Homo-oligomer: A and B are copies of this chain.
Amino acid sequence: MTAFSYEFRVAWVETDALGVVHFSNYFRYFERIEEAYFASVADGLSALMEEHRIAFPRVEAACTYSKPLRFGDSVRGEMHLVRLGRSSATFGFSLYKGKDTEPSAEGRITVVCVDVATWKAVEMPTEIRALFDHAFQEDK
């Protein structure tokens, strides 16, 4: 499968008193990879969301941690589409430190398309479904 790839460095503020990245920050890394992905395929995701009056709150998030990350570590984040439903989507994430081939951490996030007024699940607009799908279509 094709994955979207994004590189970043561990910032000081993301570490804790054990000298490693705080476990909550991995979820922020996942979101940062998502943001880079959507910025790369569409300037207009926010505009589309406003136009359709929808939002994509997370309904599930999970991470498994294998090896700690430390200040200054260079990290390659990968994102792939796990499942695309009628109103929901699940993305998978892997974080690799430096040249590692084993991930330091892996996770997944499930979002659901809701009407911003009612916060109820609604069917995902076709244009947005296409963005969710875009980078990952080689193996479909």
Q: Which residues of A are interface residues toward B (Cβ below 8 A)?
A: 9, 11-13, 15-20, 22-25, 27-28, 31-32, 35, 39, 46, 55, 57-66, 68, 70-72, 109, 116, 119
Copies in the complex: 4
In the docked arrangement, what's the CA distance between A31 and B18, Å? 15
In the docked arrangement, what's the CA distance between A119 and B66, Å? 11
Partner of A31, one of B20, B24, B58, B61: B24
Partner of A17, one of B15, B59, B63: B15
Distance (whole angstroms) from the CB of A45 to the closest CB of chain B:
9
Distance (whole angstroms) from the CB of A33 to the closest CB of chain B:
11
Q: Can you spell out 21 A-B residue pairs with CB atoms less than 8 angstroms apart?
A: A9-B35, A9-B39, A11-B32, A12-B16, A12-B35, A13-B22, A13-B31, A17-B20, A17-B70, A17-B71, A18-B116, A23-B57, A24-B28, A39-B72, A46-B72, A57-B65, A58-B65, A59-B64, A59-B65, A60-B62, A62-B63
Nearest residue (CB) in B for A36 is B9
Distance (whole angstroms) from the CB of A104 to the closest CB of chain B:
12
The answer to whether B62 touches A61 (Cβ under 8 A) is: yes
The answer to whether B119 touches A68 (Cβ under 8 A) is: yes
Q: Given the complex, which residues of B lie within 8 Å of A23, measured CB to CB?
A: 27, 31, 57-58, 61, 109
